[in-house]
Chains A and B, each alone.
Chain A
């Protein structure tokens, strides 16, 4: 018989009260776990997208121009100097310190060609890379498999009434329409894609490139550093990081995390109040019992330890159950707030942290009831002595 066994026996007897305490804390812990799990998964998902979907570094020729467009209205530009990139220089990318972080290099050349007396934007690409890089493209038909194949944007197909397998004359040369990109709502809808060598020949720019998109794995690499490294490797190029989309998504995530923190604090505060009120009620209900303990020689700190032990035991159960329920809730809710492939991460630190959080909250909320119990006058508690 010791304080732990007395506390355990009391909890076993007062199952309903214990369940109420556990639920009070459990809801708080489960809320924290589910919100933090979801935000961690969403952050992981955002990073995953950043790493695997689309370019995040753009390499363009050095230029001194001022763009004159805003909100989709193109008014022209003032270009003072333009030069093309040299395709052969791309091997320099393999020499940068963070070369292992480069996932894909997608060289491109763009120019204007004529189709049925209409000027059309044509883009030469490396088909093996381009269609992996633009994973949001949905293609009817096939990708470019030969130098006779083209893939056209949806607007081009509509304008020239093209279908998959049909023919198109570009600059008086006939090509097969291998595939049509479904509407993207972007400039891709107005493009004709051909293989890079074909476009270079067509535009008279053999061995030259208009720009290069680079996909870098950024889970463990600083993009800004890579931009500097690529700038050094390609001195004639202008290198910039495409961070706007990622940053806006991360900003939204930060807002979600702030919201999660606020909700967690409120729910945990309510949980701690539930513990406080329940433990106070329990102490008041057990005045007589505490008086017996004191009469039998329990010191004040024995009473404090007895009450605190009960609170810690309840909190431990609430922490464990809260973590499991929180993970289950996050798993159920995540598909509603993130893409299908996002999954809840089982983080041991979160598991340990949630249990410790429950114990700390339970213990802190019980300090006053425990002190109150220890200060009960044994003579008052045992009125009938």
Chain B
């Protein structure tokens, strides 16, 4: 059985113009250790797919299993626990809490766990070191560059070792050099066995993925496997 299974997953929204189907009866399996790129034009359903994968919105119909757990059969609070334990989010605009330092932002997913303050600090420092930002742990987000904020966001997604990382346009607001660094970081994480699903417009980073799903009008248009093994980091 695949690590992630989407079974006829649909999502519709009610608008003034009527019902809009953002994702239509999607069927998808993702194996553990994949680095999946989700691509497609604006309005194709990429963000809706990522939102559903993250357990953040109820589908209109269908079922989603992650690690054999029927995510949307869980209650709201149990789904919050599921997100904390299974999913690391890397948001498009980093979404760091502005009044918390880098290490405090990374510790956020641990704030509602039973980890002691010392253990939280150890885990957060480890995650920041892993993304190469161990020297800036006490800086506030506004004291960090875009690339550094992205690294903090990745460290926050990694800190509690979730099986799945969902990333939304992580290179969208970065220059090409920093984008390469960030994609290399994701590649390294994938080589370490991390399952990653990344939504992006950026066709220049296609070669980092081992599989690409292209959405069009709320449905999967193409599903291409590029590499069977996790890719090597590109220098």
Point out residues on A near B: beta carbons under 8 Å. Answer: 1-3, 5-6, 9-10, 12-13, 288-289, 292-302, 377-379, 382, 384-385
Contacts and interface: CB of A to CB of B under 8 A. Distances in A.
Given A296-B109, A297-B84, 16 more contacts: A1-B104, A1-B107, A2-B111, A5-B111, A9-B99, A9-B100, A10-B99, A296-B84, A296-B156, A298-B84, A300-B77, A378-B56, A384-B91, A384-B93, A385-B91, A385-B92
Contacts of B120: 1
Interface stretch (B46-54, B127-135, B187-195, B214-222): B46-54
A298 B57 contact: no
A295 B56 contact: yes
Contact of A6 (B76, B77, B100, B109): B100
Contacts of B98: 13
B81 A297 contact: yes
B51 A299 contact: no
B112 interface: yes
12 contacts: A1-B104, A5-B104, A5-B111, A10-B99, A289-B97, A296-B109, A299-B77, A300-B77, A382-B56, A384-B168, A385-B54, A385-B168
For A1, A6, A384, the residue with the greatest tally of chain B CB atoms inside 10 Å of its CB is A1
A13 B92 CA distance: 24
A377 B97 CA distance: 18
B209 interface: no
B117 interface: yes
A21 B117 CA distance: 30
A371 to B, nearest CB: 14
Contacts of B95: 288, 292, 382
B110 interface: yes
A282 B81 CA distance: 26
For the complex of A and B, the 10 pairs showing the least CB-CB separation, nearest first, are A297-B84, A13-B99, A1-B107, A379-B57, A379-B56, A1-B111, A299-B80, A297-B83, A296-B109, A378-B56
B56 A297 contact: no
B81 A385 contact: no
A382 B91 contact: yes
B4 interface: no
Nearest to B77: A299
Given A1-B108, A377-B57, A385-B51, A296 B100 contact: no
B36 to A, nearest CB: 17
B22 to A, nearest CB: 11
A139 to B, nearest CB: 72
B49 to A, nearest CB: 11
Interface string B49-84: 011001011000000000000000000110011111
Contacts of B50: 385
A297 B157 CA distance: 11
B89 interface: yes
Nearest to A14: B99
B41 to A, nearest CB: 17
Contacts of B99: 9-10, 12-13
A385 B94 CA distance: 10
Nearest to A6: B111
Interface of B: 47, 50-51, 54, 56-57, 76-77, 80-85, 89, 91-93, 95, 97-100, 104, 107-112, 117, 120, 156, 168
Contacts of A298: 80, 84, 111-112
Contacts of B104: 1, 5, 9
B117 A295 contact: no
A384 to B, nearest CB: 5
Given A13-B98, A296-B108, A384-B93, A1 B117 contact: yes
Contacts of B107: 1
Contacts of A377: 57
Contacts of A302: 112
A297 B80 contact: yes
Contacts of A378: 56
For A3, A302, A385, the residue with the greatest tally of chain B CB atoms inside 10 Å of its CB is A385
For A9, A288, A295, the residue with the greatest tally of chain B CB atoms inside 10 Å of its CB is A295
B77 to A, nearest CB: 5
A13 B99 CA distance: 6
Contacts of A292: 91, 95, 97, 108
A379 B83 CA distance: 13
Contacts of A299: 77, 80-81, 112
Contacts of A1: 104, 107-108, 110-111, 117, 120
A125 B91 CA distance: 95
Nearest to A298: B112
Given A379-B57, A385-B56, A297 B47 contact: no
Contacts of A289: 97
Contacts of B83: 295-297
A294 B51 CA distance: 13
A370 to B, nearest CB: 16
A11 to B, nearest CB: 9
A2 B80 CA distance: 17
A374 B80 CA distance: 12
A165 B173 CA distance: 104
For A288, A297, A299, A377, the residue with the greatest tally of chain B CB atoms inside 10 Å of its CB is A297
Contact of A297 (B51, B92, B109): B109
A12 B83 CA distance: 29
A300 B168 contact: no
